[in-house]
Structure formats: C-alpha cells, structure tokens
Structure 1
Amino acid sequence: MHRGRLRNRRPQVVSAPTRTVVANGTVVDGFGGVPWVGDVLISGGRIEALVPGGSRPESGYDAAVVDATGHVVSPGFVDIHCHSDLTRFAYPVNESRITQGITTEVVGNCGMSAAPTGNDARTFASLIATIDVTPETPRPWSTVSEWLDALDRTPSTTNVAALVGHGSARHTAAGQTTGDPTIQATARVVREALDTGCVGASLGLMYAPGESAPPEELRAIGEEVASAGALFAAHLRDYRAAAIRGSVAEVVEASGGARIQISHLRATSPEPGFADILEHVESLRDRFDIAADCYPYIAGHTTLVQILPSSVRAGGPSEVLKMGSNPSLLAALLEASGWRPDQIIIMKAARSAEAVGDSPVNHSAPWAWLADLLLSNDGLVDVAVESGFWRDVDSALRKDWVTIGSDGTALSPDHQISAPHPRSWGAFPAAFRRMRDNGIGLATAVRRMSVASAERVRVPSGLRPGAPADIAVFDELTFDSDASFGHPARPATGLLHVFVNGRQVVANGRPTSERPGRLRRAGETT
C-alpha cells in the first residue's frame, strides 16, 4: 500500500476505513455485469466510486493503493447457509471464512439458532449440539434480542445476519411436545424474532424438536415469515432422490407465500432422478419465489443420530441414551440405516478423541462399535457420510437459481473440538473452480457467490457506489480450495486481499486480525 500513483510496490495492510483504492483489477460487480479493468475507491467503509482504467485521474488518487493488477476484484462472498452461531464468539477472527473470501455469513440454519434458548438451557444445549459446533464459551443470552445484541457488540471479522430456528422457537414455546396448544406460542416466538431483526426463519425437518411439528404449526410459521417479507429456509425432511419432491412440496405448502430457500440441495441416495428434481423445482419457480443453495462436495457432515429412524431421533440425544440398556438394538438400527461402514468417518466424539478420523469399516463389528461410541458420548457424535454423485453436484451448480452455501463454520486453525469438514475452509473456492470448469462465466459465478445470496436475505452486497466496501481480490486461475478431509484447515489458494466494511481483513493471503464485521438486521439494505 502506498499513497498517490500506482507503483510496483508490495501492498501493505489497510487497517482503518480511510480512503483506499483497489487499483487496476478486473472488476466484477456481482450483479452479472461485464467485467472491466479499473479501480474501486473506498472511503469511510463504503465504495466511493468505480473508476474505469481510462478515466483514472492523471495525478493519481489521494488514497492508499492496493495493486490488483491481473486479479479479479469482486464483492466479498455471502455464505447463505452456515453454522457459525456460537463459533463466531470463540473464533472472532473467523479465519476459515475470510481466507476463502466470505465477508457475510447467515447463521441460524437447519431449524436451530443460538436463541431463543427457553427456560431449559441444558436441554437446549444438547439440541443445538446436534447441528452446530458448540465451543465452551459464555452464552449470556436467552432471547433472540439478547443474542443479536451480543452479536452486535462482539467484534468479529465478518458481517452476520441471523435466521431464527423453528426448533429453537419450538423448544422455547413448548419443549419437545406436540399439539395444537403450542402452535400459536411457537409462531409468536418466531414473530418476535423477526420483529427484532432476524432476516428469516429456518426449518430443520430432520432434527428434533422441529421434526415432530404438525403441518399446522409449520404453516403458522410460514405465515409469520411471509407477513414479515422474510426468508423461509428449510433443511428438507428427506434428501433421498425418491423423496425430495415430496419434501419440497411440504415446505411449499407450509410457506404461506414466503420466499423459500431449499438448504444444501442434493441427493443422498444412489438412485437416479436428481436432474428431474432440479427441473421440478425450476417449474415451481413459475408460481413461487423459490431458490436453493448447495455445496461442492459429495460427503455431508451430520450427527450420527440422524441416520437412526425418525421415531428414535425425534426425541433428540436423550432418547438415544435410553437405549443404553439394549446396545444390540441400537447397533441393529444403525445397520438398518442403509449406509455402508466405509461411507462413514467420525468427525466429533468429545469423550473418544481417538475415534475422530476413524471409520466403522476398520472394526470387526462396525455397528456395535458405532453404537458404543454413540452411547459413551451422550448421543453427540458427528460423522461425515459420503453420499451422492459429482454429476448431481455439477447439475446443481449449473442452475442459475442455486447459490453457494458452505454448511460450514467459522473456525480458527487451532480449533480442537471436532475434525472440521473441508467445506468450512474451502466451499467457496471449490465451488468457483467447479463452476468455471463447467463453463460458467466469471460474472455469473461471482454473482452466485455474492449478490444472488444477499438478495435472498436482503442484506447489502455488490460493487456499487454507496455500498459497504465488502471486497475480495483473487487470482482467477489459481483461486481454489486446498482443504481436504486429511487437511481440513488449509486456507484457499489464490486469494490475495479481503475488505470488510472498508477495512482490510486479509492482506497478501494472510488474516490481519482486524474485526470490522457487523450485524445486518432485517431491513438494513445499505
């Protein structure tokens, strides 16, 4: 970084929202416009001007200069589906996010948000642990308002917007019971969260306690979301290819006309038909405001409880622990799930650290080993399950209405709670590389990693004068994921600089430890 004319000097860290120019890069605005070479001028945390190279002042700029010659200058990426609800507090520099160009995260997905917690904090903690990474950090809140205030006053590197989880609201209103008396109470909790600043609500129809909600309750939630003009995001009830169409229909019926977001759209079973599912969803777009997100992997990351029958998992981890007196039955239920032992890798088992990275295929009695692991870890075991096909991933990535959601988490390199899925560190560069390899143009790929997702949740994004200066600078040819299951915490290659609200959070590929991120509440469009 230097002042005045562009010079051939090594860029330095821009650490304050002063006047800065990201100069001579290939500017991709995020709205689908044709890329052009020029400068992005930053002042006061916002984009002051976009200046084509031929219009650059002869005397240069009275500004710090970051040389972007030969590189792409794009909006920072918007992760519409992640699980950083709690890890943002434990790892505020968010290295796993910013080193792949993410500048805004949407938390509260899959039906569970960090608030409201209700009066039974112990049970709530066990429920959210089935979905999110839960570091041992203070949680000084019980209501959504208190949680959002905590996000607002806790400095972090990336911006954040929050969905309220239906499961969290349901737990607060009525624990894990079902029935009409709880419906309006649950809907009221959701409405209060939306009024407080949540940008939408999420369903987790494979997870307790939302899994057992009656259709009337889901419709009541959808009506509240529609009334608020917010987003209705859904982890579907069943992702098997033969069941996705019915699972989508369930969400559409419950939506009340709200904007629908299908979370991590993929098929988890070997039968064909995913292409037909994509065409079906596309046909629904003629009548409904419906879109989806996906991640560029065939291995998912979930809890071991999720492969059990609905009748068992609906009660949460506590129901699983009741099977401790009959571990052979638990082993039989795990085996009946239809997965093969070689498809499963242990990602988290707090009391059995030696099991992390192991697979049941390495044991003579694989299902008994899994059952014992589940019982000895209070029902809280995370697994990666290899499922689906790369052809389906590519089919989703080719659809213009499918954006990128990592399903990952804000982490630091020294994170020790669990073995992270590589998507936490590499989903966006991996998606970019796969889209480009599939013939998707630069402008379209960038739009689907930034503005397209921001428009779904109605938070600011894109390179335009007056917008927050959330910017990524990367090499189009080398930007890629270096994270793998063997080495999941490797940052992306080819990423040079990242700005959040005008402050440089990545310089020359390295985090600067700046924390300029802010909470984006519903209704904040600039």
Structure 2
Amino acid sequence: MARTIIIGAHVLDGSGAPAHQVDVAFAEGVIVTVGTVSPQPDDIVIEAHGLTLAPGFIDVHTHDDLAVIVAPEMTAKVTQGVTTVVVGNCGISATTPFPSQAELPDPLVLLGPAAQFRYADFTAYANAVETARPATNVIALVGHTAMRARHMDRLDRAAQQAEREAMRSELAASLAAGAFGFSTGLAYANANAASTEEVMALADALRDSGALYCTHLRSEGAAIDEALDEAFAIARHGNAPVIVSHLKCAGAAQYGRSAAILARMEAAARQQSVACDCYPYSASSSTLDIKQVVPETPIRITWSDPEPTQAGRMLSEIAADWAVDLKTAASRLQPAGAVYHCMTEEDVDRILSHPLTMIGSDGLPCDPQPHPRLWGSFARVLGHYVRERAVLPLSKAVRKMTGLTADTLGLTDRGYVREGLAADLVLFDPAKIADCATYDDPQQTAAGIYGVWVNGVATVKAGSPTGRRGGAMLRRQSHSQQTEEMIK
C-alpha cells in the first residue's frame, strides 16, 4: 500500500494540546500512522523541516452552496488550508429551483443567479455535489428562507399551518438524506415575518436526531438579548444543539457589549448545547440593507445591479458625487452588496478567543469585490490574531478550526490528526502564515501554506493549487446509524 509520509512535523492534533514532533503517514485517504515511520521504496516522503501539521480546517460558516458545483476547484478555500465547508447557512440554501429569469428573493441572491438554482430537493443537490467532486468536502444545512420561497406565495407574512407542515416535511426528508441541520436568517426581510412558533414547528423535525439548529439571529443590534433567547428556546424545543452564526456586536450603540453577550451564551450553555462562530474581521458583509445605512458605519459597495460601476467605492463617496444623502444613494444602488465597518476590534478579540467560538469565513464567492474574509479568514486568525497580536495561542486557534468544529458538527471521521481518521491535513509555517487579501484587493491567496491534502489527495503543493480534487459530500448519520456503526 503506497503511503504519503510527512516526516518531522510539529503536529497540532486538533485537541488544543501543544504541538509535538512526530511523523504522519496516510494511504487511500486515511491516516494510518502517527508516530515514527520508516519509509519504504514506494512511499512519497515529505520532509516537514519543522513546519506545523494540523487537521484540515473546517469552515463552519460559508455560502459556497453553488460554488462547490460551478467552481469546484475552491481556490479561495484550499489555499488557506480549508478542507471542509459547511453550506446552507443564514436560512439560504440551493435546494429550491427557480426559473432562470426569476427575481431571486433576498438573501438567496448571495449564492448566485436564479439559473443555478435547479435542484429539486436535498438529494438532487447532494448528488450534484458528488458529480462535481469539489476540492473540499461539503456539509449542508437546509435553509429556512429557501423553504419559505418554495412553499409560500409571499414572504412578508408568517407561514400558515399547511405551509409549516410542508416545510417540516421537506426538512425531515432532507435530514434523512444526510443534511446536518436547519438554518435560519431571521434578520432578513424575507424571513423576519416568520414567527418564533413557525420556526419551532420546523425544529420539531430536529428532535432527537442529533441534527443542528444554526441561526443568523433576528437581531445583532439593540435587540440581541431577545434574539439570543429566541434562538435558545427554538433549539430547546427541537432538542437540538444551537450554533449562533457570526456572533458580533453590530453598530456603534453595541460596542463593548461582547462580554455581556458571551456571559448570556455561557449561561445558556450550562443548560443546553450552545456554540457560535465568528470571522476575524471588524467588518461584516451582506446585501445592502437600508436599515443599516447610518453615518457612523462606513459602507463599501461590493456590487450593484443598476450601478455596477460603483462596485468597490464607499457609499459616502457615491452619495457625495450624486449630491444626495446616504439612504437615497443606497436606494438608488439596490439591489446591491455591501461591506459594513460596524464592529470594534475589542469585541472581535473577545468573541474570537472565547471557548464556545469556532471559525467561519462567511465569505461570498459570487461577489465581484468580496469581503477579504473569503480568501483570508483562516490565515488571518493564525497570522494576525495568534502570531502578531497574541489574542490566543496557536494550539487553541487550530482547535477552533478543527477538533472543536468536528465535535460540534458531530463529525467522527475527521477534525483530528489520529490514526483511522480521514487524511484531511494542512502543512503551514506559523512564522509566515498570513492573509494577503485586503478590502481594496480581496482575491489574494494566503501566504505560509505549504501543503493541503483532502481525503489524502494533494490539493495544494508549495502554496499553489495542484488542480486535483478529492472532496466529498459528507452526509450526517442519525444517532441510530452511529450506534449501528459502533456495534459493528
């Protein structure tokens, strides 16, 4: 059996333990030895020369639903060490077909054009991912707003009983087919009219399955306490773990509230399974929302359907050129995308370093001028927040990208450097790893990544993609299936 052997790496195994120097061998997509390895003539031997080897990074919050099919090389992700992406976040997923000329409801437009939404159900989507064979593994959630668009004639109201039942049936079928959970984006206009009772009715499908409830909170501003309480209540109703998406203190009035918000998370975590994710930047990105257009938040326009030449410019500059106020300019630009500089570094530091927090990029691959988090999040954590600013130690940062995320998602076959687990691995230099993507020039690969393997397939070599793709569609096992596997 031909093996690949990485000799003498400083291994961070995903547990949060300090690095130890050891050899790692893998074959046929599986780690076979962690220890001292004697190379054989047919082995591929890689001398680590003191570089660090870690489990492949798991991007717990992405909007790569269609990108993994239409751009399966996944360059933005693999070049920063990501080997698995979680799609279907914020209530947005690609399992609702639309006519090619349809006007997509916000925020589904973030995933791509209507013509690419052609999957009749979760199984059809998962089969399309498997056919595309992307460079990363894919884990999928089922989006609430996507289901509302399928089963409701309009989205500015709560679902009626028959519509709730239809959505719950779709969600249950998707979970049975391998979806990892259910996501909501209750802050968005096309889901905001949904009542807590509507979401609880769907969460019934999660009960006792091990599947997740992931939520872009109804508010990340002044009403965040109430929004958190709603999220915890929905998860308790469904007896499901809850992941709060991209936890933040958004808007000047919320600056400094991270300690209190995290305390609220900790209190809930003593009663139920609670986690969150964040990205390592003090600016967010989404569609251009008039409610978020305020003078104290600098806003960069990333795309605009009616005014495409304004992409990349600050909203204040556009408004000045047009001699109008900010909200008038924003209305003229819509539909559009935007980056909102709406957080403080102090709050980002506190959330990023908290034990409940995982790392997710929340990048938008269809954006022509994307937030740099798409290309830089994981390298930025390890370079800017670990090496340069010492916000958290390297071993703990790697755990937030690997073992902690695998445990939270219920993955049992990856997330750690251990014998018998999938050979998803990243080899990097802690002294050189850095994000190179900027707001002005966001599509830049990270520095300091020397090798990436996805299911044992060499996907990045010497910092550059090899063109080989070894990703897989990862389907969730039910608790009963997991028990059967353990008995076997």
Question: TM (normalized to structure 1)?
Answer: 0.84
Does 2:244 align with 1:244?
no
Does 2:94 align with 1:144?
no
- The range that moved more, 207-216 or 419-428, is 207-216
2:377 aligns to what? 427
1:14 aligns to what? none
The CA deviation string for residues 416-449 of structure 1, in whole angstroms up to 9 with x for no partner, is: x521110000011112231453352222111111
Does 2:88 align with 1:108?
yes
User: In structure 2, do the counterparts of structure 1 residues 43 and 71 end up closer, same or farther at CA, with 3 Å as the change threshold?
Assistant: same
Amino acid at match of 2:330: L
| Deviation for aligned residue 1:62 | 4.3
Checking the alignment, whether the CA contact within 8 Å between 2:99 and 2:114 is kept in structure 1 is no
- Secondary structure (helix, strand or coil) at the match of 1:171 reads helix
| Deviation for aligned residue 1:138 | 4.3
The CA deviation string for residues 259-303 of structure 1, in whole angstroms up to 9 with x for no partner, is: 000000001122332211111111111001000000011111011
- Secondary structure (helix, strand or coil) at the match of 1:48 reads strand
* Cα distance in 2 between the residues matched to 1:339 and 1:123: 31
Checking the alignment, whether the CA contact within 8 Å between 1:498 and 1:505 is kept in structure 2 is yes
Checking the alignment, whether the CA contact within 8 Å between 2:28 and 2:456 is kept in structure 1 is yes
Checking the alignment, whether the CA contact within 8 Å between 1:167 and 1:208 is kept in structure 2 is no
1:7 aligns to what? none
Does 2:168 align with 1:209?
no
User: In structure 2, do the counterparts of structure 1 residues 136 and 215 end up closer, same or farther at CA, with 3 Å as the change threshold?
Assistant: closer
2:350 aligns to what? 395
- The range that moved more, 448-457 or 491-500, is 448-457
Matched residue count? 464
- Secondary structure (helix, strand or coil) at the match of 1:228 reads coil
| Deviation for aligned residue 1:196 | 1.2
1:327 aligns to what? none
Does 2:125 align with 1:125?
no
2:212 aligns to what? 231
Amino acid at match of 1:157: A
Structure 1 residue runs of 5 or longer lacking an equivalent are 1-16, 309-336, 375-379
2:475 aligns to what? 521
* Cα distance in 2 between the residues matched to 1:372 and 1:180: 38
2:270 aligns to what? 286
1:70 aligns to what? 50
- Secondary structure (helix, strand or coil) at the match of 1:209 reads helix
Amino acid at match of 1:432: L
2:287 aligns to what? 303
Amino acid at match of 1:125: L
Structure 2 residue runs of 5 or longer lacking an equivalent are none
- Secondary structure (helix, strand or coil) at the match of 1:516 reads coil
Checking the alignment, whether the CA contact within 8 Å between 2:402 and 2:415 is kept in structure 1 is yes
Amino acid at match of 2:247: L
2:240 aligns to what? 258
1:25 aligns to what? 9
Amino acid at match of 1:408: G
Q: 5 Å matches for 1:440-459?
A: 440-459=392-411
- Secondary structure (helix, strand or coil) at the match of 2:207 reads helix
- Secondary structure (helix, strand or coil) at the match of 2:247 reads coil
- The range that moved more, 365-374 or 20-29, is 365-374
| Deviation for aligned residue 1:193 | 1.1
Checking the alignment, whether the CA contact within 8 Å between 1:200 and 1:230 is kept in structure 2 is yes
Does 2:27 align with 1:43?
yes
| Deviation for aligned residue 1:489 | 0.8
| Deviation for aligned residue 1:133 | 3.6
Amino acid at match of 2:141: L
- Secondary structure (helix, strand or coil) at the match of 2:89 reads coil
Does 2:199 align with 1:218?
yes
* Cα distance in 2 between the residues matched to 1:194 and 1:277: 31
Does 2:256 align with 1:275?
no
Amino acid at match of 1:420: P
* Correspondence for 2:324 among 365, 372, 375: 365
Checking the alignment, whether the CA contact within 8 Å between 1:342 and 1:359 is kept in structure 2 is no
| Deviation for aligned residue 1:369 | 2.4
Question: TM (normalized to structure 2)?
Answer: 0.90
- The range that moved more, 166-175 or 460-469, is 166-175
* Cα distance in 1 between the residues matched to 2:202 and 2:114: 31
* Cα distance in 2 between the residues matched to 1:341 and 1:32: 39
| Deviation for aligned residue 1:466 | 1.2
1:349 aligns to what? 304
1:316 aligns to what? none
Amino acid at match of 2:457: R
Checking the alignment, whether the CA contact within 8 Å between 2:9 and 2:22 is kept in structure 1 is yes
* Correspondence for 2:449 among 495, 503, 519: 495
User: In structure 2, do the counterparts of structure 1 residues 477 and 136 end up closer, same or farther at CA, with 3 Å as the change threshold?
Assistant: farther
| Deviation for aligned residue 1:366 | 3.6
- Secondary structure (helix, strand or coil) at the match of 2:309 reads helix
| Deviation for aligned residue 1:347 | 0.4
- Percent identical across equivalent pairs? 29
User: In structure 2, do the counterparts of structure 1 residues 404 and 219 end up closer, same or farther at CA, with 3 Å as the change threshold?
Assistant: same
Does 2:176 align with 1:195?
yes
